Amino acid sequence: MMSILSTVQHPQDLSKLTEEQLDRLAEEIRQFLIANVSATGGHLGPNLGVVELTLAIHRVFDSPRDSIIFDTGHQSYVHKLLTGRQDFSTLRQQGGLSGYPERAESVHDIVESSHASSSLSWADGISRARRLGGESDRYVVPIIGDGALTGGMAWEALNNIAADKDRRVVIVVNDNGRSYAPTVGGLANQLSKLRRGVLDKVRTHPVYESVMDGTKQRLQHGGPVSQMVYRSLHAAKKGAKDFWAPQGLFEDLGMKYIGPVDGHSQKALEEALTDAKNYAGPVIVHAMTEKGRGYAPARADEADQFHAVGVIDPETGEPVSRGAARSWTSVFEEEIAALADEREDIVALTGAMLIPVGLRKFAQKYPERVFDVGIAEQHAVASAAGLAYGGLHPVVAVYATFLNRAFDQLLMDVALHKAGVTLVLDRAGVTGPDGASHHGMWDLSMLQIVPGIQIAAPRDSTRLREELREAVSVSDAPTVVRFSKGSVNGEIDAVERLADGVDVLFSSTEPEDDGGYSHDVLIVSVGTMGELSLDVARRLQDQGITATVVDPRWVLPVPESVVSLAARHRIVVCIEDGVKVGGVGSRIRQTMREAGVDTALNEVGLPVEFLAHGSRDQVLQRVGLTSAQIAQDTVAQVLGTKVPFARRLPGENMPTGEVPVFNPRRS
């Protein structure tokens, strides 16, 4: 029998299918996802849960004329399949399909950012633009999960959308009761109470609305008796509605609500979406779905129902290979739990990511001291300031890329008030297959301008443990501990630890009589760049160039010994896996200049670009963050053929290499 999926190259092809064919197509899509995502890794559970929902949206609405927006975007695989992208063999791999919507792939994709809770703001803006452009017949359809609704930004947008009654916005709430883990908070409690409303279809009919509005106007503008009748009828109507379908959560904002709808009934979904489409104003359609639908291993996984998987056996759901190396997250998980045993004042917060950031063990032992605030990083950091004021030491654990959202709170609520709050940034630097919006590459540059902040970048598990302990010992300033995604590096022991805590990892020769080091090149290694920095030093040594490699451990404030060592070397090379503009290297250079040290410094890091997905090694290779490239550039700088030039040796001539002269008139 011919595959139905293979005949669908455009959403319009779905209109030709019968109810039986749609059921077959849904099954084919689930089998396709299980077979393909298990081979490449990716977001499996969320996509298995939105098969019928995505089919219904594309059958009722006309993409791309109607704008379909996926909040977060990890549940867009079905959408990709229905819009002509059915080669998943290189999903999330370099040169292959993105794991999120991407405009370069299709005109059907709109929002590429994979940060949650932004879809309704996009819908607000697009629908305003449509109205101003005279295109009132075009719909905007954001799909937002109940987890993403815990983000305050979503409610800011709802407040604005609800104020305009004539906008064609159909908000689809994909309610599976989870983000990564079960959704928490008052919102989750309210959604769980909502029941199917038998009056929904009647209440969204335009005739019903016109009759109700006319009756309301007549009674409200009548005499005292009429107004009393209106109030009585209105109260009775609301009481009846709340009994059958308590929807005050949304209707108090002035928005029409349809649901809950069975998110796996094609017929029910299409009826609800059609009713919403026919209503001349913003509507919320509440669809109840199951994450991991149709795949027993996912449904049985209590942790996250296969939210994201690596390469797995499609039959069992078990990982194909289990790496022997430990993850950075697991090391943090152990150490924070140990610290919690020792100190009752330590508490932890996270934003809907208890397990991914390594707080599960802490939460199991001390559930009253771990707070999952939902997808609300701003609130988490500001709340942490309050916890610190209350005499506790809060540890806020988030992915590095999501700290961007809480910068104002870090600056004004934590740093300004000198609050002892520790931020633990998981997945810092280049993360790989999740692409531009998930690389944790902005934090080192962004945090540099926060007064009083102290930033640690551990190179291995031992340093992670000790730097975390040092961080939580600071009670009068924000501290940060950042580490990478994936397996922790091998242990790198120091040759020597200097008085201010800087570790010397390598020296081409023994230290001099005064205990210092004087070589051609000082390499400052930031965090996980330790192994790469050591390889660069060895390559330089092979070329007859001496080098010292240091790990500051605490990259901010800049340790005094780093500045002193810089004065004794001909050039400094700072290697970091963050954006080099405004990064650690830039800060060291500024501190050197303030101290009167004029040694040249080369910042080696990531460019100010949105880096496409690929493995971590592939991304680093693309941007030139390899030991071979760095060593080659450094040799040229020492020889004086590439800027910045290393300081000349006594009696040595000035650089002989040609240096391009800036000509402001050159076009």
Q: Tell me: the pLDDT tens digits for 239-257?
A: 444 444 445 667 777 789 9
The catalytic site residues sit at: 291, 377, 405
Residues 277, 281: Cα–Cα separation, whole Å: 9
* Neighbouring residues of 417: CB distance < 8 A, sequence distance ≥ 6: 385, 389
227 pLDDT more than 50: yes
Q: What is the pLDDT of residues 443-479, one digit of tens each?
A: 999 999 999 999 999 999 999 999 999 999 999 999 9
> What is the per-residue pLDDT across 475-496, written as a single tens digit (0 to 9) for each?
999 999 999 998 998 999 999 9
CA distance 76 to 477: 41
Residue 418 has pLDDT above 80, yes or no: yes
What CA–CA distance (Å, rounded) separates 163 from 166?
9
Q: What is the pLDDT of residues 572-613, one digit of tens each?
A: 999 999 999 999 999 999 999 999 999 999 999 999 999 999
Phi, psi (degrees; rounded to nearest 5) at 307: -55, -50
Write the pLDDT tens digit of every residue in 637-650.
999 999 999 998 87
pTM above 0.85, yes or no: yes
Give the pLDDT band of residue 197 (cuts 50, 70, 90): very low
More confident position, 318 or 219? 318
Q: For 135-178, write each residue's pLDDT tens digit.
A: 989 999 999 998 899 899 999 999 999 988 889 999 999 998 76
Say if residue 119's pLDDT is above 80.
yes
Binding site per annotation, positions for thiamine diphosphate: 74, 114-116, 147-148, 176, 295, 377
State the Cα–Cα distance between residues 350 and 603, nearest whole angstrom.
33
Q: Which amino acid appears at position 133 of this protein?
A: G
Under the banding of pLDDT at 50, 70 and 90, the label for residue 208 is very low
Q: What is the per-residue burial (b if ≥16 Cβ within 10 Å, else e) of 162-172?
A: beeeebbbbbb
- pLDDT surpasses 60 at 84: yes
Is 60 exceeded by the pLDDT of residue 231?
no
Q: State the pLDDT at residue 301.
A: 87
pLDDT (tens digit, 9 = 90+) per residue, 61-77? 999 999 999 998 999 99
Average pLDDT for 278-288: 93
* Tokens (6 digits) for 293: 């639908």
Q: According to the model, what pLDDT value does residue 188 have?
A: 63
The confidence band for 664, taking pLDDT boundaries of 50, 70 and 90, is: very low
Please report, rounded to a whole number, the percentage of residues in the chain having pLDDT higher than 90.
77
Which among 484, 456, 483 is positioned nearest to 470, based on CA atoms?
Answer: 456
Percent of the chain with pLDDT over 70: 86
Q: For the segment 340-393, what is each residue's pLDDT rounded down to a tens digit?
A: 999 999 999 999 899 999 999 999 999 999 999 999 999 999 999 999 999 999
- Asked if residue 410 has pLDDT above 90, the reply is yes
| Residue 516: per-residue pLDDT | 82
Q: Annotated binding site for Mg(2+): which residue ranges?
A: 146, 176
The CA distance from 603 to 534, in Å, is 17
Say if residues 271 and 246 touch (Cβ distance below 8 Å): no
Average pLDDT, the chain: 89
Number of Cβ within 10 Å of residue 303's Cβ equals 12
pLDDT in tens, 304-345: 888 889 999 999 999 998 766 799 999 999 999 999 999 999
